[in-house]
Amino acid sequence: MVEATHVTRGSPISTRKRVTPKGAKFSSKRVLFREYLKHSIPVSLLAESVYCEAKVSNKLQLGEMETPVLLEGRLLHERDAKKALRKFGPTKKAEVVTVEDAMLLSYANVMFALKKRKVIANSEKKTLFISVIPRHGIHGAPDFIDCKGKQPIIVESKNTQRLPSSPWLDNQIQVAAYSMSLEVLGFTPSYAILEYVTRDQARTKRTFQIPLTTDIKKQTIDIARNVLAILQGKDPHPTTNTNKCLACEYVSQCRWTPLRRT
Residues 130-169: tens digit of each pLDDT = 999 999 999 999 999 999 999 999 999 999 989 999 999 9
What ranges do the domains of the chain cover? 23-233
**In the 8-state DSSP scheme, what is residue 236?**
P
User: What pLDDT, in 10s, does the model give residues 198-207?
Assistant: 988 888 999 9
How far is it, in rounded angstroms, from Cα 46 to Cα 38? 16
Bridge partners, 210 (sequence order): 192
Going by C-alpha positions, the residue among 85, 41, 80 that lies closest to residue 59 is: 41
Q: What percent of the chain has pLDDT over 70?
A: 88
**Cα–Cα dist 73/160, whole Å:** 9
Residue 260 is predicted with a pLDDT of 79
pTM over 0.85, yes/no: yes
With vertex at residue 241, the alpha carbon angle to CA 57 and CA 138, rounded to the nearest 5 degrees, is 40
Q: Judge whether residue 22 has pLDDT over 90.
A: no
Residues near 15 by beta carbon (within 8 Å), at least 6 away in sequence: none
pLDDT at residue 20 greater than cutoff 70: no
Q: What is the pLDDT of residue 122?
A: 96
Q: How far apart are CA 152 and CA 106, in angstroms?
A: 11
CB within 8 A of 19, min separation 6: which ones? 103, 104, 107, 184, 185, 186
pLDDT at 203: 87
**Most confident residue range from 74-78, 195-199, 205-209:** 205-209
Name 61's Cβ contacts closer than 8 Å, sequence gap at least 6.
none
CATH top class, domain 23-233: alpha beta
Give the number of C-alpha atoms closer than 13 A to the C-alpha of residue 180, restricted to the C-beta side.
27
Q: Assign 56 to helix, strand or coil.
A: helix
User: Exposed/middle/buried for 16, CB within 10 Å: 0-12, 13-18, 19+?
Assistant: middle
